[in-house]
Amino acid sequence: MSNWYHHAVNVLGYTQFELVLFFTGFVSWFAAYILILKGVRKFKINEMPLMVGPGNWVWEFIWGFMFEPELGKPFIYGVRLWFFLDVFINVTILVFGYKQLPLPVLKKRFRYTYIIALIFWFFTVWTFGKVGDDNPLGVTSALMINVIMSGLYLYQLVFNANLRGKGLSFKVAILKCIGTGVITLGSIFKWPDALFLINLGVISFVIDIIYIVLFKQYKPIKEEESWEASQEELQYSVEV
């Protein structure tokens, strides 16, 4: 291995396999970000959930500019690349984020929701790392954000199934699942005793798999069919 590699990457006991897994996760999320931005341009909808978009952004700012993750400059530059891509994602959330909310009163005030989420996530991620509860790469706080993101993606799919392929991307679903999955796998090899971190990664990965399956198979019940079914159930209960 070249001297440049050993000077650039502070390996600190990381195996080549672990480094490959973390790098694959980075590339997968980078590709997902690109596709999210392409979807915004094409459909005028940002699929990144309003409540976690700012969480991603502040995590990248904190771990790319404020803290010093132990893998050294390549990791830091990679996080900074995410951060600058996320600038565009978050700007478009502020433009199109109202489309994610169901109620008119929430749509009118969606930017306040964004600002509150931004402040909440900043202090959560910063204090978590500052007191030493996060791991040396910030993976624990990243997966905390990811669990919420995966759940909100599932919520968006169930209540906006008509956006499949028209704002919600199947390729993004695959890429973020791979990204979270391989980073969790790398974490299992590197920190096998970090049970809370691993638990977060497994939960997020499982929800992502459910999302992928439902993306292809979920068929929402039409309002008329749902109403008829509820009426039949009510009539049956009355007769009994």
pLDDT band at residue 197 using 50, 70 and 90 as cut-offs: very high
Residues near 4 by beta carbon (within 8 Å), at least 6 away in sequence: none
Cα separation, 109 vs 50, in Å, equals 12
Tracing tokens 């996080």 back to the chain, one arrives at 79
Helix (H, G, I), strand (E, B) or coil at 109: coil
E runs forming strands in the chain: none
Smallest CA-to-CA distance from 176 within 30, 19, 20, 17 is with 30
pLDDT band at residue 62 using 50, 70 and 90 as cut-offs: very high
Helix (H, G, I), strand (E, B) or coil at 168: strand
Report helix angle 53-61 to 110-130, nearest 10: 40
The answer to whether residue 94 scores a pLDDT higher than 90 is yes
The answer to whether residue 229 scores a pLDDT higher than 70 is no
Q: What is the pLDDT of residues 112-123, one digit of tens each?
A: 989 999 999 999
Mean local confidence (pLDDT), 147-152: 96
Mean local confidence (pLDDT), 76-85: 93
Phi, psi dihedrals of residue 31, rounded to the nearest 5°: -65, -40
